[in-house]
Amino acid sequence: MLRKVALKDISELKVHGRTTDCLEPLTLFWTASGFECNVSGTELWVEVEVTYDTFEPWFSYTVNGDWVGRQMLLKGRYWVPLFRGMSADQMKNVRFYKDLQAMSDDGNSYIQIHALRLDGEFYPVKEKKLKLEFIGDSITSGEGLFGAKEEEDWIPMFFSSLKDYAYLTAKKLDAEYRIFSQSGWGVYSGWDNNKNHAIPPHYRQICSLMESDQNERLGGNRAHDFASWQPDYVIVNLGTNDAGSFDQPEWVDEQTGERHKMRQNVDGSLNKEDVAAFQNAVKGFVGLIRECNPKAHIIWCYGMLGLKLQLYICEAIAEYVEETGDYRVSYLQLTDTDDSNVGSRQHPGALCHKQAAETLTKYILTLGDN
């Protein structure tokens, strides 16, 4: 007989992703956030509550490490089956993943988890030997990993948390991981020259880039408790949108009239002042990450959608290391996207993410901290 168990009453439950400490219900903000449990029994259901204005969230789930389900979630509070008809006495590992990133363009797009329903028992989840945090943009959000190559619609259906390089790297290293990413955003400026679309100012908060009354109520604007989860490695994959901003028109804030443009010179070279501002943002963000994660090795990755700013990123990191003596910071070039590995929306496809994960995994293994 199935019984309902509130999340707060499941001591064995493992919560994944940056969120509050509330389990009544558990709010999922970020890509790959969710929960994990070990259960016996023949079936398992999850009670979700879903809200959004424009962008409906999607989720994926695995059973014993195998990806067996993915679907769109519509508004409302209801039960969703995760498995049924399995052997009662065998323990199953089940993990629920939010596929869609935190949506800065829809401050009401959330998945909340209230309870589980099962006919078995819960068992402790084994701790992983490593913790990884991935910080990035649309690449890290898994944009373009579903859909045909010709697809250009910017919709939740084309995001994936289980095909991206973060998931693949964590799986190769047997690591727990978190993602902090936003499509179109950069370290200094968004792709469209919008300086408000920079990741670093939001890093100290749980999820402050989702601006809404609901986000305030759910705790997204609260300070994140870094001591509660310290990564061994922080992998930053930013700069792609900053690079794109040099080719885009000037951004104008319709409310304040503020203007901003990353400039190119007549000969096509990049304006030195704007490059310097970008490099200062890189150095500042590395310093912020170090302040929040004192023992982590910080790896700045780049190159999955071009290498336009690679030299400047390397220079900024070298300057940071020289100025601070912090040698646990490094740079890693990843595989670029071409016709052989592109996905939808002109973004890296599954093969490109696999190649990136292989490169990153091999590099982490050379660092000797694991």
Closest to 242 (Cα-Cα) out of 274, 266, 273: 274
Output the pLDDT for position 370.
43
Bridge partners, 302 (sequence order) = 333
> What is the number of helices (H) and of strands (E) in the chain?
6, 18
**Contact, 241 vs 193, CB < 8 A?**
no
Pair type for strands 233-237 and 297-302: parallel
Q: Copy the structure tokens of residue 245.
A: 């901003």
Output the pLDDT for position 255.
86
Backbone φ/ψ region at 179: left (φ over 0), alpha (ψ -120 to 50), beta: beta
Determine phi and psi for 18, rounding to 5 degrees.
-70, 125
Output the pLDDT for position 369.
57
**How many Cβ atoms are within 10 Å of 38's Cβ, its own excluded?**
19
CA atoms within 13 A on the CB side of 53: 10
Output the pLDDT for position 298.
98
Q: How far is CA 91 from the centre of its chain?
A: 29
Tens of pLDDT along the chain (370 residues) come to 999 999 999 999 999 999 999 999 999 999 999 999 999 999 999 999 999 999 999 999 999 999 999 999 999 999 999 999 999 999 999 999 999 999 999 999 999 999 999 999 999 999 999 999 999 999 999 999 999 999 999 999 999 999 999 999 999 999 999 999 999 999 999 999 999 999 999 999 999 999 999 999 999 999 999 999 999 999 999 999 999 999 999 999 988 889 999 999 999 999 999 999 999 999 999 999 999 999 999 999 999 999 999 999 999 999 999 999 999 999 999 999 999 999 999 999 999 999 999 999 999 999 975 4
Output the pLDDT for position 337.
96
How far apart are alpha carbons 268 and 246 in whole angstroms?
Answer: 10
The model's pTM is: 0.97
**Contact, 165 vs 182, CB < 8 A?**
no
Cis peptide before 25 (omega within 30 of 0): yes
170 three-class SS: helix
289 three-class SS: helix
Q: Copy the structure tokens of residue 62.
A: 């695995």
Closest to 97 (Cα-Cα) out of 170, 161, 174, 4: 161
Output the pLDDT for position 37.
98
Q: Could you tell me the residue ranges of all domains in the chain?
A: 3-123, 130-366
**Contact, 352 vs 359, CB < 8 A?**
no
Determine phi and psi for 240, rounding to 5 degrees.
-65, -45
How does DSSP classify residue 295?
T
CB under 8 Å to 293, separation ≥6 — which residues? 133, 226, 230, 231, 234
Determine phi and psi for 4, rounding to 5 degrees.
-90, 135
Output the pLDDT for position 254.
86
Reported CATH class of domain 3-123: mainly beta
How far apart are alpha carbons 129 and 134 in whole angstroms?
Answer: 17
The two domains 3-123 and 130-366 share their CATH topology (first three levels equal) = no
Choose the CATH number for 130-366 among 3.40.50.1110, 3.90.1150.10, 2.40.100.10, 1.10.340.30. Answer: 3.40.50.1110
How far apart are alpha carbons 194 and 299 in whole angstroms?
Answer: 26
